[in-house]
Amino acid sequence: MERDFQGVLHELSGDKSLEKFRIEYERLHAVMKKSYDNEKRLMAKCRELNAEIVVNSAKVATALKLSQDDQTTIASLKKEIEKAWKMVDSAYDKEQKAKETILALKEEIVNLTKLVEQGSGLSMDQHSNIRDLLRFKEEVTKERDQLLSEVVKLRESLAQTTEQQQETERSKEEAEHAISQFQQEIQQRQNEASREFRKKEKLEKELKQIQADMDSRQTEIKALQQYVQKSKEELQKLEQQLKEQKILNERAAKELEQFQMRNAKLQQENEQHSLVCEQLSQENQQKALELKAKEEEVHQMRLDIGKLNKIREQIHKKLHHTEDQKAEVEQHKETLKNQIVGLEREVEASKKQAELDRKAMDELLRERDILNKNMLKAVNATQKQTDLVKLHEQAKRNLEGEIQNYKDEAQKQRKIIFHLEKERDRYINQASDLTQKVLMNMEDIKVRETQIFDYRKKIAESEIKLKQQQNLYEAVRSDRNLYSKNLVEAQDEITDMKRKLKIMIHQVDELKEDISAKESALVKLHLEQQRIEKEKETLKAELQ
């Protein structure tokens, strides 16, 4: 139990939030330990009291046995007193007979004296008979006096014996009364001891129940602590994941913002390129009108224009072919989109692709600069064409070159536009995917926040349970205080019982001393009675 307590304290010492609970737990353990020590001390005292009660019961049994012996002694003394009374009666009869004999002798002496007075001439035999009678008279008188003195002594001894018997009977009655009181007190003490023993058993049962409740509550507290610790760990993990998710969301938001800025920039550049293309188209239309005007002005250029028309048809064919290639490129673009969706799932590939996109944007910017330069060149060439229209041949060559340049430039512009559209679609898809990821992350964040709310709710419920356990602990502590109070009262009652028991033991010892003194007096009286009996036997023998 002590090892479990130390283990729980070691587990609680690591958590500052449970410091108050740890202090209360230590206090409760100290109280339980003190209660356990008090229980052991009470058990030892109960064993001592039981031993003392057994000893006192043995003493009372001994006193009862001595009282029974005293009753036997008193009965024998009564028998001896009756014998003494019989002896006194017989002595009194003998005394009466002796008195009658003395009276008869006195009458005979009187008669003899009269005879002596009447006649002086007695013979020697008569004188000797008279002397014998006088001597016998003196002896009988001495014997009478001796018997009288013995009778007086016997009467005094009988009176003393009677007084001793009465005193012994009074002492016996007092002893019997004291023994009955002792028996009642012993019975009362035994009842109190049995009541205290039942109370102790009840306290032990309640203490065991409290101990079982404490063990179950310690188990619940350990489970709650483990659950709280687990919840804290999960909460920390969730908070860490939330922080990481927030960082990822912030990073994704920044990347999305960058992609949106890039997309806006590319759209702006695309619009600029579209405007440039429209301007170039308008300029091309204007140039075509100028060419038509020049065809009207220069009839000789018609053949060349026809050739140019043929070339234009070829260019249209090439354009149709290019459009077919564009459709193939669109299909290839769809394939590339699917591949890009797979590649965008990897973060590193996305970063590399972003780097490549940045390089592509740089290339586009360079191409845009080149296009601007080409546009400037085209403007200059147009100016030159305006200047060189006057020279038909030179204009023809210049127009052919310019048309070819325009076609090449238009092809390049179409490629650039296609590439820009492709980049725009890719960035739009990336933005859509990132938006989806952000939404998913937001959903995850909501789920995590819901879980955090649930965990906080569970922690609040655990705190409520902990408060309930603390309230139960307070109730147990109040019960323990009540039991301690009852234990103190029981100890006081036991102390009072021990004090009364000591007084009873002292009274029993005094009674034993009184009984011993009375036994000594009875022994002396018995010896005196034996001596009187012997003297009486001697007197009887002498009288016979």
pLDDT by residue (tens digit) across 163-177? 766 776 776 677 667
**Count of CA atoms in the C-beta half-sphere (13 A) of 487:** 25
- pLDDT above 70 for 510: yes
Q: Cα-atom radius of gyration of the chain, to the nearest Å? A: 72
Predicted local confidence at residue 319, as pLDDT: 56
Please tell me which residue, 208 or 350, carries the higher pLDDT value.
208
Tokens of 91: 């002595």
- pLDDT above 70 for 457: yes
**CA distances in angstroms from 479 to 61, 293, 487, listed in the order given:** 42, 119, 12
What is the C-alpha separation between 255 and 267, in angstroms, rounded? 18
Per the CB < 8 A criterion, the answer to whether 38 and 484 are in contact is yes
What is the C-alpha separation between 416 and 515, in angstroms, rounded? 140
Give the type of residue at 500: K
CA 152 to chain centre: 92
Which parts of 381-474 are beta strand (E)? none
Whole-number percent of the chain with pLDDT over 70: 25
What is the C-alpha separation between 110 and 133, in angstroms, rounded? 11
Predicted local confidence at residue 201, as pLDDT: 72
**CA distances in angstroms from 351 to 347, 354, 391, 431, listed in the order given:** 6, 5, 57, 14
Per the CB < 8 A criterion, the answer to whether 172 and 71 are in contact is yes
- Give the other-Cβ count within 10 Å of 188's Cβ: 12
- Dihedral (CA of 285, 286, 289, 291) sign: negative
Unique residue bearing structure tokens 């290839």: 332
**227 contacts: CB under 8 Å, gap ≥ 6:** 458, 462
Per the CB < 8 A criterion, the answer to whether 239 and 502 are in contact is no
Kindly compute the dihedral angle of the four CA atoms of residues 127, 132, 133, 139, in this order, to the nearest 10 degrees.
Answer: 150
Q: Which among 248, 247, 224, 246 has a CA at the least distance from the CA of 448?
A: 246
When pLDDT is averaged across residues 259-280 and rounded to a whole number, the result is: 62
Give the type of residue at 174: E
Unique residue bearing structure tokens 């102390």: 495
**pLDDT bracket for residue 306 (50, 70, 90):** low
Per the CB < 8 A criterion, the answer to whether 46 and 495 are in contact is no
Per the CB < 8 A criterion, the answer to whether 77 and 525 are in contact is yes
When pLDDT is averaged across residues 36-53 and rounded to a whole number, the result is: 67
- Dihedral (CA of 109, 111, 116, 117) sign: positive
Predicted local confidence at residue 517, as pLDDT: 74
Q: Which among 73, 195, 5 has a CA at the least distance from the CA of 521?
A: 73
- pLDDT above 70 for 433: yes
When pLDDT is averaged across residues 391-411 and rounded to a whole number, the result is: 65
What is the C-alpha separation between 511 and 360, in angstroms, rounded? 126
When pLDDT is averaged across residues 514-539 and rounded to a whole number, the result is: 73
What is the C-alpha separation between 528 and 57, in angstroms, rounded? 36
**161 contacts: CB under 8 Å, gap ≥ 6:** 77, 81, 84, 525, 529
Note the pLDDT tens digit of each residue in 106-148: 676 666 666 655 554 444 555 566 666 667 667 766 766 776 6
Predicted local confidence at residue 125, as pLDDT: 58
Tokens of 534: 């012997």
Q: Which among 44, 190, 42, 73 has a CA at the least distance from the CA of 504?
A: 190
Predicted local confidence at residue 122, as pLDDT: 45
When pLDDT is averaged across residues 273-281 and rounded to a whole number, the result is: 60
For every residue of 5-62, DSSP letters joined together read: HHHHHHHHHT-GGGHHHHHHHHHHHHHHHHHHHHHHHHHHHHHHHHHHHHHHHHHHHH
Residue 282's SS3 state is helix
Note the pLDDT tens digit of each residue in 52-108: 666 666 666 665 666 666 666 666 666 766 766 676 666 667 667 766 766 666 676
Output the average pLDDT for the chain.
66
**pLDDT bracket for residue 185 (50, 70, 90):** low
Predicted local confidence at residue 489, as pLDDT: 77
Predicted local confidence at residue 167, as pLDDT: 73
What is the C-alpha separation between 346 and 278, in angstroms, rounded? 40
- Dihedral (CA of 202, 208, 209, 210) sign: positive
Domain ranges of the chain: 253-470
Per the CB < 8 A criterion, the answer to whether 210 and 476 are in contact is yes
**pLDDT bracket for residue 253 (50, 70, 90):** low
Predicted local confidence at residue 385, as pLDDT: 55
Kindly compute the dihedral angle of the four CA atoms of residues 135, 136, 139, 141, in this order, to the nearest 10 degrees.
Answer: -110
Q: Among 44-48, 126-130, 162-166, 398-402, which stretch is predicted with the lowest mean pLDDT?
A: 126-130
Per the CB < 8 A criterion, the answer to whether 427 and 263 are in contact is yes
**pLDDT bracket for residue 496 (50, 70, 90):** confident
Angle at 77 between CA 71 and CA 81, to 5 degrees: 145
- pLDDT above 70 for 32: no
When pLDDT is averaged across residues 273-285 and rounded to a whole number, the result is: 61
**105 contacts: CB under 8 Å, gap ≥ 6:** 133, 136, 137, 140
**pLDDT bracket for residue 527 (50, 70, 90):** confident
CA 109 to chain centre: 119
Predicted local confidence at residue 374, as pLDDT: 63
- Give the other-Cβ count within 10 Å of 515's Cβ: 20
Per the CB < 8 A criterion, the answer to whether 483 and 206 are in contact is yes
Predicted local confidence at residue 211, as pLDDT: 62
**pLDDT bracket for residue 227 (50, 70, 90):** low
When pLDDT is averaged across residues 503-518 and rounded to a whole number, the result is: 73
- pLDDT above 50 for 429: yes
Whole-number percent of the chain with pLDDT over 90: 0
Predicted local confidence at residue 398, as pLDDT: 65
What is the C-alpha separation between 486 and 479, in angstroms, rounded? 10
Unique residue bearing structure tokens 């001393």: 513
Count each helix (H run) and each strand (E run) in the chain, helices first. 6, 0
Predicted local confidence at residue 120, as pLDDT: 47
Q: Name the DSSP letter for residue 391.
A: S
Please tell me which residue, 307 or 261, carries the higher pLDDT value.
261
